[in-house]
A and B are shown apart, each in its own frame.
Chain A
Amino acid sequence: MRIVILGCGRTGAALARIMAAEGHRVTLIEWNNDSLERLGGKFTGAVITGNGLDEDVLKKAGIEQADMFVALTEGDNRNLMAAQIAKDRFHVPKVIAKVNDPIRAEAYRERGIYTICYSLIGSAMIRDLAYDRPLGSVEEYNVVPPELKD
């Protein structure tokens, strides 16, 4: 698979290393050179330094041929904008975005961007642990519970 990852934070770096080690063609986009240290010495993928909302940068990262695009920066809106560019502009078949605001995560998931909300997953998981309940599936955790809807 050809995978373009935006953002070399902890998640981006970990995903890049795992997928590259499994033989996929990974390209990582990051504008802060310091963050690239997280990749360690053995990363076999490519790195593009630049702004991931810039089409030229995305093209350089090979988004036109990508099978998957993952937006993992710190900014929810940044991830959502990048994901929409990947999906609507470059027609990448699989697009995933990290979104920390549960409501926004749901809003965009309903519109075809697969969003992963760590805050929802983490809090739902901890609740199950608190009650000593068996853990549920990520899919269950990744939806907004009624308590958070208002």
Chain B
Amino acid sequence: MYIIIVGAGNVGYYLAKTLLNAGHEVLLIERDKRRCELLRDEFGESVMRGRGDEIRTMREAGADRADIVVACTGDDEDNLIISQIAKWYFNVPRTVARINDPRNESIFQQLGIDATVSSTNIIYHLIEQEIEAGEVIPLAALKRGNIEIVDIELSTRSPVVGKRVQDLPLPPDALIVCIIRQENAMLPHGDTVLEANDSVIALVSAQNERQLRKVFAEEQYE
């Protein structure tokens, strides 16, 4: 995965480090010259000086092939604009914005930002979700009704592989709406049997998302 992180404060710094250690391609963009020089020793080519809210910088950064852009500067307004530019101009599939004022969450959502987070830890967990097989990726939160659309990729070790849809211990307010198998989308029936590498698209209420995740996750059953 190619992940661009804008803002090399503490959040950006540790996030970049963590993702690099996990083997991802990371580019850390920082506008402060001195901060960049300090980071250069540790990150080498993975640091770039520039402003993530400028289209030119993002083009140079290769934003058009980025899987995720994380805007984690200290200013909410900068993080909003960085995320919007990434989406509008470079079609980045997923934008994550750090917010300092939690009340901005719904505004960011309304303005098209995929995810907002307010600490290093949560950012890392979100990205972890994106990356690891067998995890649940929230595709979208429906604005009204508090329902999320999630994409669950089944690893070979998922406990649901080989099971029929009707036998899954789904939480309340969860509905499997589609299964994508080898690029083909199919509408599942109760007797559809899940296979490894299936992508399961489900609707779930926000409060039951975690429970749904447990049904498909491998570790719980190991």
In the bound complex, how far is the Cα of B143 from the Cα of A121, in angstroms? 39
Are B77 and A53 closer than 8 Å at their CB atoms?
yes
Q: Place the interface of chain A in its size category.
A: 20 to 34
In the bound complex, how far is the Cα of B107 from the Cα of A97, in angstroms? 18
For residue A104, CB closer than 8 A to chain B, the reply is yes
* Given known A-B contacts A77-B53, A84-B111, A101-B54, A107 and B77 have beta carbons under 8 A apart: no
Q: Give min CB distance, B153 to chain A, whole Å.
A: 33
Q: What is the predominant secondary structure among interface residues of chain B facing chain A?
A: helix
Q: Mark A87-101, 1 if CB is under 8 A from B, else 0.
A: 011000000000001
Contact partner, A89, options B56, B80, B107, Cβ 8 Å: B107
Are A77 and B54 closer than 8 Å at their CB atoms?
no
In the complex, which residues of chain A have a beta carbon less than 8 angstroms from the beta carbon of B103? 54-55
Q: What is the predominant secondary structure among interface residues of chain A facing chain B?
A: helix
In the bound complex, how far is the Cα of B78 from the Cα of A101, in angstroms? 13
Are B53 and A107 closer than 8 Å at their CB atoms?
no
For residue B110, CB closer than 8 A to chain A, the reply is yes
In the bound complex, how far is the Cα of B107 from the Cα of A84, in angstroms? 9
Are B55 and A111 closer than 8 Å at their CB atoms?
no
**B→A interface (CB under 8 Å):** 53-56, 75-78, 80-81, 85, 88-89, 101, 103-104, 107, 110-111
User: Can you list 11 A-B pairs, Cβ within 8 angstroms, ordered by A?
Assistant: A53-B77, A54-B101, A55-B103, A77-B78, A78-B77, A80-B80, A81-B80, A82-B77, A84-B107, A89-B107, A104-B55
